[in-house]
Amino acid sequence: MSSSRGQLWFIALVFAALAVAGTLAYQRFRVGDIQLAEGRRAYDAGRFEVAEKAFERSVGHNPQNAGAWYWLGLSRKNQGRSAEAAEAFGRAAALQPQNVLWWMELAQCLQWSQRFAEAEQAWERVLQGLPDNDNRRREAGINRAKCLAGLGRTDQAVSALKGQLAADDSPLVRFALAEVLAWAGRFDESETQYRLALHAASPGSQPEARP
């Protein structure tokens, strides 16, 4: 009888401990949400330093909240701290790898930090996640090529941009190709692409045959 009573007390204690743990976890998540909302208000008001502190408190209470990491990254990015912003965006992307926006912000901050190898991989992830008709593919493709050029892989960068031109004959892509060709010392080709890009960007311009 005493053994059964002891077992009942033990089970009751276990359930009580679980209830307390659940309550504490909920309170932590709740505090994290409150800090996230506070950070959003400060961010919307342009008070990025205040917002950053609030977002840091939010991820401290709930480190699994990808949105809080994203907003922490934005607050740092708007203070010109690309490397630290990239760390926050990286946490957001790791928690929600299907979210292309997280990867775009991560790739941009890595590129600004001249971490070209990581940035190129992040831009590739963006391209994999965007549908073929999404206009953001243009920016992602251009930036990926520039990262390749930053790594000294200019031939690959040129090839990537030429491939992009086949699907998107945009002046922006041609300007990027002209820039990379100039970096590679291929000045005649660069001049041709600049000329074609300027012609295509001119109001009322007619399509010009590609060389």
The secondary structure of the chain, three-state, reads CHHHHHHHHHHHHHHHHHHHHHHHHHHHHHHHHHHHHHHHHHHHCCCHHHHHHHHHHHHHHCCCCHHHHHHHHHHHHCCCCHHHHHHHHHHHHHHCCCCHHHHHHHHHHHHHCCCHHHHHHHHHHHHHHCCCCCCHHHHHHHHHHHHHHHCCCHHHHHHHHHHHHHHCCCHHHHHHHHHHHHHCCCHHHHHHHHHHHHHHHCCCCCCCCCC
Q: Which pLDDT score, from 0 to 100, does residue 209 have?
A: 43
Tens of pLDDT along 144-182?
A: 999 999 999 999 999 999 999 999 999 999 999 999 999
Tens of pLDDT along 103-133?
A: 999 999 999 999 999 999 999 999 999 999 9
Q: Which pLDDT score, from 0 to 100, does residue 154 have?
A: 96
- The model's pTM is 0.81
Q: Which pLDDT score, from 0 to 100, does residue 2 have?
A: 54
